[in-house]
Amino acid sequence: MKRAPLLVLAGTVAGFTGVLIFHTRPATLMQPAAGTGANSSRSATATATATAGNRGVAGPGAVRRAVGASEQFGYGVLDVKVTVRGTRITNVSVPTLEVAEYTSRQICEQAIPLLRTEVLTAQSARIDGVSGATYTSEAYAASLQAALDALHMK
């Protein structure tokens, strides 16, 4: 019976020591790809490229690209690049994705292909979000809309 307080004290000291020496992996932001910046105040930029037959004039069939504004979401920053031929969205990508946690990166890596498919199917920024990735879906749609606005599309 006299040993019970000693065991409680030893358990408390061991638990407290365990908490003090417990180290979590430090959260680091992923660096953006070379040549891209992650400035959240940056406005959407658009660059037009002409097809070979147009000789520098962006016509109705010209391929145009725009990168939407960097959008801050609950777990990081992303921006969306859209490629348009005429009035049709032909490609959507995410050139900048910065997240602080490994789990957030996994969620984004699963959600972004689904969002891309939604955009190519809907041909607009009016898309359904991905369940479990609400913040990512909202940031993706906002950056996509900024890129489409820069291209003067709906």
pLDDT by residue, tens only, the chain of 154 residues: 677 788 888 888 887 777 666 544 444 334 344 334 444 334 444 444 333 334 444 566 789 999 999 999 988 999 999 999 988 999 999 999 999 899 999 999 999 999 999 999 999 999 999 999 999 999 999 999 999 999 988 7
Q: How distant is the alpha carbon of residue 109 from its chain centre?
A: 9
pLDDT for the residue numbered 70 = 93
Could you give the CA distance from residue 25 to residue 147 in angstroms, rounded to a whole number? 36
pLDDT for the residue numbered 118 = 94
21-57 burial, b at 16+ Cβ within 10 Å, e below that, comes to eeeeeeeeebebeeeeebeeeeebebeeeeeeeeeee
pLDDT for the residue numbered 126 = 92
pLDDT for the residue numbered 42 = 42
Could you give the CA distance from residue 41 to residue 149 in angstroms, rounded to a whole number? 16
Structure tokens at 13: 């000291």
Whole-Å CA distances, 32 to 22, 36, 40: 30, 6, 13
pLDDT for the residue numbered 35 = 39
pLDDT for the residue numbered 12 = 86
